[in-house]
Every structure is written in structure tokens, then in C-alpha cells.
Amino acid sequence: MTSDPKLHPSTEVLETYALGHLTGDKLEILEEHLFVCGYCQDELAEVDSYILTMKDACDTVRSEVQVAEVPPSKFADRLEGFFHRLFAIPRPVLAGAMAAFFIAIVIPIAYVGRSAETPAMVELSTSRGAGAGSIAMAPSGHPLELTLNASALRKPARAEMVNAVGKQVWAGAVTQSNGRILISIRESLPAGAYWIRYFSEDGEFLRESGLEVK
């Protein structure tokens, strides 16, 4: 480091100074430089403002977060220690780490959440037994809105869905609207083959539809 006002200390050095971690000759030389350098005085003011903002955020978190298993005094000490270490990280490094976290974790979670909430519309066809008729395709990871032409069945009252080995994975009432039979399955299904079986109000088996989830 030099006291020449034409050569300025780095932002990391100013942050270390603002946090009170600069000592010895480096501290003395920097203070001499700050005394004559308006540019670095402005830079230091920005650093101070940044640290003050972070400390305010720390105070807000400390007052709002409650952890039942940790006594308040110990939790406050741990929280203060965490933010103390956080403040010691140079801003470019901290900003890069936060950006990487956001890209790698937050965005994918938000995307998956939105994707899982969007129902997939699937058109079904019917047959009288497994292996006959066409098989509808549906994406995994989505709720399903299954539709069927009402003319294909005589007023089904309920339906059930079984997997490839005959285990029931869903059962419920069916609805009709505008000449369509509607079945809503709110939970996403894992990949595999399924059969939707339709029953009359008195329990008579009517027909079934094939569905493959990929």
C-alpha cells in the first residue's frame, strides 16, 4: 500500500478498514491516504452505507426469527457471528455467491413449483378391456385434467385409476360439462402405464381408458 493519492486502495481494503479489521502499518498508511484523497473518502462512505444496510437487515432478522430449540441469547450470538463472518466477505465475492445460489437453487425451485401446479390436459378414448383401443399420453410431474367424449359412455357416475399391476392409485366421481366427461387428478403421477375404469351409479363396470405417463 502507498500514501500516494494517485494510487487508491481496493474496495476490499476499505471494507476491512470500515469493519475495524485493519491494523498496524496498513492502517496508518490508509488513514494518511484517506486524509488527502476525496475519491477514496467517497468510496469509504459507500462502504459504510452498505455495511449499515446489512446490519439493519441483521437486526430485522434477529427480531423476527424465533427458534424454539435455541435459547434467545444463544441464537442471537450465533446470528451475530454469522453476519459478522458475512460482512467480512468482500462484496464482489458475496455478490457472486448470492447470484450463483439464486440461479442454482431459487430459480429451479420456482420453476418446478409453477410447473407442478399447471394441469396437463389429456384426451382419453375408451375400450371394453385392457389392450384394446388407443393409449393416451400424459407428462409426469403435473396434475391431470382428463376429458372424454360423453357419447362414449352412458352416464358414468365414478371412475378409478389403477397402475400396471392393478393397484388403485385414484378413485372419485366424474363430472360432465358441454358434452364432455371430466376427471381431475390433483396429484402428479410417476411414469408408467395406467387404466381408468368407469362405473355406473349401481357399480356396473362400463369401459376403461388407457393412459401412459412419461
Q: Which three cell numbers stand for residue 22?
A: 485493519
Per-residue pLDDT of the chain in tens (214 residues, 90 and over written 9):
444 545 788 888 888 888 888 888 888 888 888 888 888 888 888 888 888 887 777 777 666 655 445 455 555 666 566 556 555 545 555 555 555 555 555 555 554 444 456 788 899 887 665 444 578 999 988 889 998 887 877 778 899 999 988 899 999 888 888 888 889 888 888 999 999 999 988 888 888 889 999 9
- pLDDT tens-place string over residues 29-83: 888 888 888 888 888 888 888 888 877 777 776 666 554 454 555 556 665 665 5
The Cα-based distances of 13 to 4, 44, 196, 200 in angstroms read: 16, 10, 68, 78
Give the pLDDT confidence score for residue 171 in this predicted structure: 92
Query: 0.85 cut: is pTM over it?
Result: no
Give the pLDDT confidence score for residue 76 in this predicted structure: 60
Listed in sequence order, the residues at least 6 apart from 182 whose beta carbon sits closer than 8 Å to its beta carbon are: 145, 146, 147, 174, 175, 176
Give the pLDDT confidence score for residue 14 in this predicted structure: 86
Give the pLDDT confidence score for residue 86 in this predicted structure: 54
DSSP secondary structure of 175-191: EEETTEEEEEE-S---S
